[in-house]
Structure 1
């Protein structure tokens, strides 16, 4: 008898998004949905919400952070249906067809045109907002888009 998937919160004290991402990617079986959440209790760190049948232990001192993650209406999706199919260059329409992302928005400009090419960099981290996944992108050379969050972001003031 298998138990049903449910949203659970986990807080292991990850200090960075990369640490939390690595932990999520190591899970077997992979969760259906996994989001990271920046929390401040009892100290600033990254908590995780998972849609899974598995259970994970959270230290009592981090229980409030785990609860905040499991009840959060926003997050940063690391695992979601179709994520493995979002590699290379894809049109906005292909992203929507291949994954559970509901829409692609251009930062500060609204919905992206369905025919616009997105250079995924093989790293797509949509925002989970009110029950749907939204990929925020920024303009790139040649009328293309890139996801707002990059695997290796350019440090602030890198060219100064």
Structure 2
């Protein structure tokens, strides 16, 4: 297993990648982020629209006040999801959308795609990984419109209203009903599939659902 990651460029959607939007600079994403009822239909659409690879990547950030957000790839060689998540959550300003991607070259690691106006310098050896993250078809979302509001115990209806998540699924059972209760554990990492964010859950004690990916996996899963 790969902790919910799929290789960048894989046709299967187990994690969100944001596709490159070179000619559409994402005015919609900014306005969507400000829309409380459905903060990201537009961001998801932009993420799903690919116009070709975008050069981007790692380490040095160049601030560009007033610049339009677009998809960039970043590869810093993070070995784990936790390391990549921490780096994403330390970004200031925060990106509109940030996803992680498992890439195989030049060695297996976690690359990142961002919907942001910022520019990142890149190390040449990691450029292919950054490009793969920026243009791949799937990803695992860490930051997305409304993500900060998904804490505590919420109904499926509340999750859909508060964030850009398009639907909540129960693993192996299909969509969850709007009144189903989800104990988020303050850790929500939806998958990006076919231009939308999907939160996969699993039944837990007490008749509630919990996200399939947990902050602290059980011992049987932690080794995979």
Task: With the length of structure 2 as denominator, give the TM-score of the two structures.
Answer: 0.69
CA distance in 2, matches of 1:66, 1:16: 16
Report what 1:106 is aligned to. 170
> 1:15, 1:21 → 2: CA distance?
11
Matched, 1:27 2:91: yes
1:141 aligns with 2:185: no
Separation in structure 2 between the aligned mates of residue 56 and residue 156 of structure 1, nearest angstrom: 37
Deviations 1:13-68 (A, max 9, x none): 00000000000000000000000000001110000000000011221001110000
Which structure 2 segments of 5+ residues have no match? 1-64
Considering only aligned residues, what root-mean-square deviation do their CA atoms show, in Å?
1.2
| Larger RCO, structure (CA 8 Å, separation 6 or more) | 2
Q: Distance in 1 between matches of 2:126 and 2:172?
A: 35
In 2, Cα distance between the equivalents of 1:93 and 1:110?
Answer: 16
Return structure 1 stretches of 4+ with deviation > 2 angstroms: none
Deviation of 1:119 (Å): 0.2
- 1:123-138 equivalences under 5 Å are 123-138=187-202
Looking at structure 2, the residues matched to 97 and 42 of structure 1 have their Cα atoms a distance apart, in angstroms, of 40
Using the alignment, how far apart are the partners of 1:157 and 1:148 within structure 2?
Answer: 11
Q: d(CA) in 1 for partners of 2:73 and 2:104? A: 15
Provide the C-alpha distance between the structure 2 equivalents of 1:140 and 1:102, rounded to a whole number of angstroms.
22
> Shift of residue 142 of structure 1?
2.2
Counterpart among 60, 64, 75 of residue 139 in structure 2: 75
CA deviation digits over 1:72-98, x for unaligned, max 9? 111000000001110000000000000
Offset of 1:157 from its aligned partner?
Answer: 7.3
Relative to structure 1, the CA distance from residue 137 to residue 65 in structure 2 (aligned partners, 3 Å threshold; closer, same or farther) is same
**How many pairs does the alignment contain?**
158
